[in-house]
Amino acid sequence: MDRQQVAIYGSLKRGFYNHHLMMGSEFIGEDCLGGFNLYSLGAFPGVKRGKGKLHVEVFAVDPPCFERLDVLEDHPNWYQREQVTTKFGLAWIYLYLPEVDNQLQVTSGNWLES
């Protein structure tokens, strides 16, 4: 597997506590995607398809980095990887699988550490 793009929106972003897992990746840029709802799940966020917007950072990741991300996100049990279109081309994003009925939706689309 060659380097692939990943769109991240939470604790993996630059300056956040899980960003160290992005070692070996290359920052490509930022984008704002439509069609997603962002939820605050306490110490981390979750995203589902919806009508909102989502601010992401796009990175090119190598296979070892991709494996670390899959482990962190418990793919495919807790988060499911799907491809989305960004202004930099196709990127993988991790969508949250459990229900979010009682969770706080972050309407700005920009998750900040709590």
Burial (0-12, 13-18, 19+ Cβ within 10 Å), 75: middle
E-strand ranges in the chain read 4-8, 26-40, 45-61, 79-86, 89-96, 104-105
State yes or no: is 73 an active-site residue: yes
Looking at the DSSP bridge assignments, the partners of residue 78 are none
Burial (0-12, 13-18, 19+ Cβ within 10 Å), 60: middle
- Of the residues 26, 57, 73, 82, only one is catalytic, namely 73
Starting at the edge strand found earlier in the chain, the sheet holding 26-40 runs: 79-86, 89-96, 4-8, 45-61, 26-40, 104-105
Known catalytic residues are 73
